[in-house]
Structure formats: C-alpha cells, structure tokens
A = this chain, B = another copy of it.
Amino acid sequence: MARPTPLSGFPEWLTDGRVVEQYVLDTLRRTFELHGFAGIETRAVEPLDQLLRKGETSKEVYVLRRLQEDADGEPAVDRSEKQLGLHFDLTVPFARYVLENAGRLAFPFKRYQIQKVWRGERPQDGRFREFVQADIDVVGAGELPYHYEVELPLAMAEALGALRDVGVPEVRILVNNRKVAEGFYRGLGLDDVEGVLRQVDKLDKIGPDAVAELLRAEQGATPEQAKGCLELAAISGEDVAVVERVRALAASYDAVTELLETGLGELAALIEAAARRAPGVVVADLKIARGLDYYTGSVYETVLVGHEQLGSICSGGRYDTLASDGKNTYPGVGLSIGVSRLVSRLLSAGLVTATRGVPTAVLVAVTDEAHRDRSDAVAAALRARGVPADVAPTAAKFGKQIKFADRRGIPFVWFPGQAEEDGTVGPDQVKDIRSGDQVDADAASWAPPAEDLFPRVVPAAAE
C-alpha cells in the first residue's frame, strides 16, 4: 500500500489536535448537562425520502448502497426497505426520534446531541463533507412557551463562554425574530415574506444596492418598500433601544402591525434577559434572516469576534413545527454548533494548543527486561491512584528512555530503585524532565502537580 493522502473535506487530527477537540466536546457536554439537557444519539442514517423533504438540501445527501445488493440476487433497490442516506444535520433525525418515541418521552423534552454529519459535496469544492455538530433543542408537545427562546441561546453562550479561558475567542450571538421581519414586510405591503427574506439574506454577499434591485425585480417592491426593507436590515444593537428604533421606523412607513408588535415584544424580552444574564454576548441584528423556511420566531447566528469572516459557527431558531404526525404537532427551539469548523479554526489559526498529545503523565523506565515487572507494578500503582502512566517500550539506556518521554511531552520519568551491592534495593526516583529535578518517590503516594495530571488545553500564546 502506497502512502495514502488525506481526503478533501474529511478532517482528521493528530493526537494533540484531538485533545483540543475532545476538550471542546467535553466542555459543551458538561454545560449542556448543567442546563438539564439529556444526551441522545441517533443512528447515522435516515430513509432517503425523509432526508429529501426539504428540497434545498437534496444535493448534499450521501446515499448508501450495500455492495452485495446485486450479488445477493436482490434488485438494485431493495424492495424490502427504503433507500437510506447519511444524515446531513441533527434536526431531521431528532424530529424523527421525537415522533418515534413520543409516547415514551416527557415533554417539554430537552436534549443535546453531539455527532458527525455528512454532506455529499463535490470533492473539488473544498467544503467539509464530514463534520461534528453539537445541538441543543427543546421540543414541546402541542405548545412550547416563549421563554425557551431566551434560555436556549443563553445556554449556548454559556457553553461557548466556558471555552474562553483556553483561548477560544469571544462569541457574539446575533438575534432576530421572524415575526418582526414578517410583520414589518406585511405592514409595508410586501406579502411574499419568504421571497423578501431570501433577498435580504444576500446583503453580506452582494450589498444593499443589489438587494434593493432584486427586491424590485423579483419581489415587485416599490423603491420605497425596498428602502424600508434595507433600513430595517441596517438596525442592530445590544440593548432594548433597538426595539424602539424598529418601532419608529415602522411608524414612519405606517407599517406597524400586530405581528410586528408581538415580535418586538419577544425580541425585547430576549435582549433584556441576555443583557442581564450574559452582558455583551447577545446583539439584535435585524438583517439576520436564516435561509431555512421553517423558523417562525427567534433566529440566531453566532460569530467568533475577530473571525467574523468564518461565518456563523452556531445557528438556530424557533420552529412551530419541528415535527408532526398529523395528530400532534411538536414545536421546538434549538441551536447547532459546527464543532469541526470551530476546532479547525482554533488549530489552524494557532489560537489554542494542548500541553501534550498523550494522556501519559509518567513514563516508568525499565532498568533491564528481567525487571520489567517492577516497572509494570509502579505503573499499576500510579494508575490505581488516577495517574496516567506508561512503561518504556525497551530497557534502552536511560537517556534514550528520557528522550522517548520528551518526544511525547510526558513530563515525568520514573526510575525504579536499583539493587545495591549489599542486596538491598534503593528508593525509586522521579524526574521532572523539564526542570531536571529528581527526587525520591513512592508510587503509593507520589502524584504529579494537578496541572500535569492530564493534557491541558491552553491559549497557544501561553505555551
């Protein structure tokens, strides 16, 4: 086998990168659990017809085929079962899970889900084709109180904020409310709300003049209406004054509607609670549209401050119909972090690093192969007390064994006591190979400093 090369779009890390990724995942999981979200995992596949219900995503699906389908004498498409595809997000599988288990779940049901997803992008497009998402959602049966639209982004802000001290940049959660946009557009006399949102969503890419032109050409807006849409999209701010600015703008266009007022009330509640509970994190940004048409209330996007060109690393919103089985409807609100995109940026921009790529805190040296069992016993004693320990692969010269540790970033090397001429065995010693300090030690009681026990994730500059 010739040396293989990476597959474009399928990121993999060396062990130190994996330490960073695992730390991010563990931190998110811990925060989600502190907030009462229960963990679930769903299978990687869904029936293809379910994956294709949202037409716009159909181009991104990987379809599965059993290699031996034909060899088994079955038709190419196995009639005994629907065609299967890999899930491209965690929302479609969650909606299916809720319906499948509705009778056994307690609602409102809060869950987190951290899994890989796949998108069948063209390899030459350079996009991620496999990546990890971390989602939190709450779903109700029939109804879901508004306050969850405040709670969910704040829980996510806390999860991302818990990564600050290892060097992850500050995050800014940009929020908007579909009812505000829809109420305002309708007040202006624009009834193709989806169409207007779709054009406004292009603002960052093509600029206001081109959007105005599209609104006129494709949505049939008057210059006045297009101007109103752009003025709304230009409003942003951290405090509740934003709501007054929208209200004043709507009044100036005589476009105040009941729906607008409902939306502004919700937006104000979110901004106020966020300003109190997580100052500076949440910003109202009236141009946030979110492409997906199932959002019905709050919508969220999240940028890393200083890395805005990376785009949104965590998005979501409120949907009145996460799932429906015809009889019951399940409204939900949730957000999804693109963990791979985040970790990839942390590593490639050199923001965050791991103190080492192996868990081992202590390498136990081997004096000679006949006494390997002494070294094994030391390692076992350390492990029993929670200290990650490894034993040297061979009884090479101690200098070579120390080099083995050094190459892996293992901070301590342990030397089992040597037999003296009088037949007694000297004390064990442990060496901090960074400082060179070497002291007598007993495997039944010695422990490394807490900061050396496991690899830590730290701001790269601190290394």
What are 21 sample pairs from A and B whose C-beta atoms fall under 8 A apart?
A: A3-B325, A4-B100, A5-B100, A7-B43, A10-B45, A12-B43, A14-B40, A15-B39, A21-B41, A33-B359, A34-B387, A36-B360, A45-B130, A62-B66, A66-B120, A106-B408, A108-B393, A140-B393, A147-B372, A151-B391, A273-B376
A309 within 8 A of B: no
A44 to chain B, nearest CB (A): 6
A86 within 8 A of B: yes
A71 within 8 A of B: yes
Within the assembled complex, what's the spacing in Å between the Cα atoms of A276 and B84?
50
A14 and B104 contacting across the interface, CB-CB below 8 Å: yes
Q: A14-B40, A36-B360 are in contact. List 15 more A-B contacts (CB 8 A).
A: A3-B99, A4-B96, A6-B100, A7-B84, A19-B39, A22-B39, A36-B390, A38-B358, A43-B130, A60-B67, A65-B65, A66-B121, A67-B85, A78-B123, A151-B376
B3 and A120 contacting across the interface, CB-CB below 8 Å: no
0 or 1 for each of A69-80: is its CB under 8 Å from B? (1 = yes): 001100000101
A68 within 8 A of B: yes
A12 and B120 contacting across the interface, CB-CB below 8 Å: no
A279 to chain B, nearest CB (A): 13
A80 and B44 contacting across the interface, CB-CB below 8 Å: no
A28 to chain B, nearest CB (A): 13
0 or 1 for each of A222-241: is its CB under 8 Å from B? (1 = yes): 00000000000000000000
A325 and B35 contacting across the interface, CB-CB below 8 Å: no
Question: Do A393 and B45 form a contact, CB below 8 Å, given A4-B96, A12-B97, A373-B273?
Answer: no
A112 to chain B, nearest CB (A): 9
Question: Closest residue to A40 on the B side, CB-wise?
Answer: B18
A366 to chain B, nearest CB (A): 9
A357 to chain B: which residues have CB within 8 Å? 38
Question: Closest residue to A395 on the B side, CB-wise?
Answer: B145
A10 to chain B: which residues have CB within 8 Å? 43, 45
Within the assembled complex, what's the spacing in Å between the Cα atoms of A18 and B80?
29
A129 to chain B, nearest CB (A): 9
Question: Do A36 and B1 form a contact, CB below 8 Å, given A12-B42, A65-B65, A380-B277?
Answer: no
A390 and B110 contacting across the interface, CB-CB below 8 Å: yes
Question: Closest residue to A69 on the B side, CB-wise?
Answer: B120
Within 8 A of B (CB), among A357-409: 357-360, 372-373, 376, 380, 383, 386-391, 393-394, 404, 407-408
Within the assembled complex, what's the spacing in Å between the Cα atoms of A101 and B12?
11
0 or 1 for each of A114-126: is its CB under 8 Å from B? (1 = yes): 0010101111100
A44 to chain B: which residues have CB within 8 Å? 44, 116, 118, 130
A111 to chain B: which residues have CB within 8 Å? 15
A414 to chain B: which residues have CB within 8 Å? none
A281 to chain B: which residues have CB within 8 Å? none
A324 within 8 A of B: yes
Within the assembled complex, what's the spacing in Å between the Cα atoms of A295 and B360?
28
A110 to chain B: which residues have CB within 8 Å? 358, 390
Within 8 A of B (CB), among A25-62: 33-45, 47-48, 50, 53, 58-62
A359 and B124 contacting across the interface, CB-CB below 8 Å: no
Within 8 A of B (CB), among A222-266: none
Within the assembled complex, what's the spacing in Å between the Cα atoms of A145 and B375?
15
Within the assembled complex, what's the spacing in Å between the Cα atoms of A68 and B55?
12
A78 to chain B: which residues have CB within 8 Å? 123
A449 within 8 A of B: no
A407 to chain B: which residues have CB within 8 Å? 106
Question: Closest residue to A93 on the B side, CB-wise?
Answer: B12
